[in-house]
């Protein structure tokens, strides 16, 4: 994490920022967040990130209490202050009030926290560990990107200890949902397939860009339920996220192996990079 952060209305050194010990978001993980890619000093697809945070905040019964453009400008100013025009940012809204143990004093309804850091160096190809019964698609908060992230974080930590890069989560019906912090895609018979939002997966920003952009680039992309039986017939597998962008998968659970990166994955990676370039020029 970079030494300067943005807290509520100002940039300050990390060690000078503090949260209330009785803050609801701190005690219960009540809040929303997103991770942004900073390109040329500006946040990519900020409007998509803001729309998702707003929807998730509404589902959690909280208000962001901030203006979209003001937060976007805060991200830009923080990246500039930390001298990181090519980096990543984490934007979090942490609920202050409510609950038996909450004591937020005169603090605002939510605390706004923005951090930046250097880009993560992901592996050239990813190894995924399969984890059944990890997503419950029928819950009211399925697919929400909220601060309560301990299950995914704990699963990821264990996977790293076992030599995997991420965990592929199945829902209660045995359908593929997502990874701990990435969306899942496979290529079969010339088609690109990805789980629908009804699987309980997160509506990822890179996922939404690909769903919009790939058909225009000549790719046949479909949202449909996938199971482990689909892994054997897949020619390629890749995952997507804001920081990974388009990332090839070399194996799932040490049982299914793929030549990675494959031709289609590389072509989709190029199509996404072109989308980003056009976005930054617009």
Q: Residues 160, 242: one domain? A: yes
Q: Residues 91, 168: one domain? A: no
Burial of 223 (C-beta count, 10 Å sphere; 0-12/13-18/19+): middle
Q: Residues 157, 265: one domain? A: yes
**Residue 104: pLDDT band with limits 50, 70, 90:** low
Domains: count for the chain: 2
The percentage of residues in the chain with a pLDDT greater than 90, rounded to a whole number, is: 85
Q: Residues 190, 275: one domain? A: yes
Q: Residues 271, 134: one domain? A: yes
Q: Residues 146, 253: one domain? A: yes
Residue 217 neighbours by CB distance under 10 Å: 15
Largest CA distance in the chain: 59
**Residue 25: pLDDT band with limits 50, 70, 90:** confident
Q: Residues 148, 277: one domain? A: yes
What per-residue confidence (pLDDT) applies to 96? 85
Is residue 115's pLDDT more than 70?
A: yes
Domain-terminating residue out of 89, 117, 145:
117
Is residue 225's pLDDT more than 80?
A: yes
Domain-terminating residue out of 73, 98, 117:
117
Q: What is the mean pLDDT of the chain?
A: 94
What per-residue confidence (pLDDT) applies to 105? 67
Q: Residues 106, 146: one domain? A: no
**Residue 139: pLDDT band with limits 50, 70, 90:** very high
Q: Residues 174, 228: one domain? A: yes
**Residue 251: pLDDT band with limits 50, 70, 90:** very high
Q: Residues 11, 81: one domain? A: yes
Whether the CB-CB separation of 261 and 136 falls below 8 Å is answered with no
Q: Residues 203, 252: one domain? A: yes
CATH code of residue 105:
3.30.470.10
The percentage of residues in the chain with a pLDDT greater than 70, rounded to a whole number, is: 98
Residue 240 belongs to what domain range? Answer: 126-281
Residues 6+ apart with CB under 8 A from 139: 200
Q: Give the 3-state secondary structure of residue 212.
A: helix
Q: Residues 47, 90: one domain? A: yes
Bridge partner residues of 204 (DSSP):
none
What per-residue confidence (pLDDT) applies to 27? 84
Domain-terminating residue out of 65, 93, 117:
117
Please state the rounded mean pLDDT for residues 213-236: 96
Q: How far is CA 64 from CA 8, 53, 56, 61, 161, in A?
A: 11, 8, 10, 10, 37
**C-alpha to C-alpha distance for 259 and 249, rounded to whole angstroms:** 8
Whether the CB-CB separation of 262 and 248 falls below 8 Å is answered with yes
**C-alpha to C-alpha distance for 60 and 144, rounded to whole angstroms:** 9
CATH code of residue 140:
3.20.10.10
Query: Which of 31-35, 45-49, 101-105 bottoms out in mean pLDDT, i.e. has the lowest?
Result: 101-105
Please state the rounded mean pLDDT for residues 184-194: 96
Is residue 20's pLDDT more than 90?
A: no
CA dihedral 233, 239, 245, 248 (to 10 degrees): -50
Is residue 74's pLDDT more than 90?
A: yes
**pLDDT, tens digit, 9 for 90 and up, residues 55-65:** 999 999 999 98
Residues 6+ apart with CB under 8 A from 156: 166, 167, 180, 181
């Amino acid at each position: 994490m970079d030494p300067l952060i943005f807290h509520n209305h100002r940039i300050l050194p990390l060690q000078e920022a503090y949260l209330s010990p009785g803050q609801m978001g701190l005690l219960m993980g009540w809040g929303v967040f997103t991770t942004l890619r900073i390109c040329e000093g500006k946040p990519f697809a900020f409007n998509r990130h803001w729309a998702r945070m707003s929807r998730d905040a509404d589902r959690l019964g909280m208000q962001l209490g901030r203006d979209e453009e003001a937060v976007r400008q805060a991200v830009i100013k923080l990246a500039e202050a930390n001298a990181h025009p090519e980096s990543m940012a984490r934007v979090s809204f942490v609920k202050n009030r409510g609950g038996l143990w909450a004591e937020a004093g005169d603090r605002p309804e939510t605390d706004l926290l923005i951090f930046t850091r250097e880009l993560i160096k992901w592996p050239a190809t990813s190894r995924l560990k399969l984890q059944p019964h990890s997503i419950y698609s029928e819950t009211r908060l399925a697919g929400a990107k909220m601060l309560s992230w301990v299950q995914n974080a704990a699963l990821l930590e264990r996977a790293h200890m076992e030599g995997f890069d991420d965990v592929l989560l199945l829902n209660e019906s045995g359908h593929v949902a997502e990874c701990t912090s990435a969306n899942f895609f496979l290529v079969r018979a010339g088609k690109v397939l990805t789980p629908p939002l009804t699987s309980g997966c997160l509506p990822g920003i890179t996922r939404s860009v690909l769903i919009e952009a790939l058909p225009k680039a000549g790719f046949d992309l479909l949202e449909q339920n996938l199971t482990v039986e689909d892994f054997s017939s897949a020619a390629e597998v890749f995952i997507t996220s804001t920081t990974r962008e388009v990332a090839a998968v070399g194996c799932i659970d040490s049982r299914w192996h793929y030549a990675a990166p494959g031709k289609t994955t590389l072509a989709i990676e190029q199509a996404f990079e072109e989308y980003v370039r056009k976005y930054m020029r617009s």
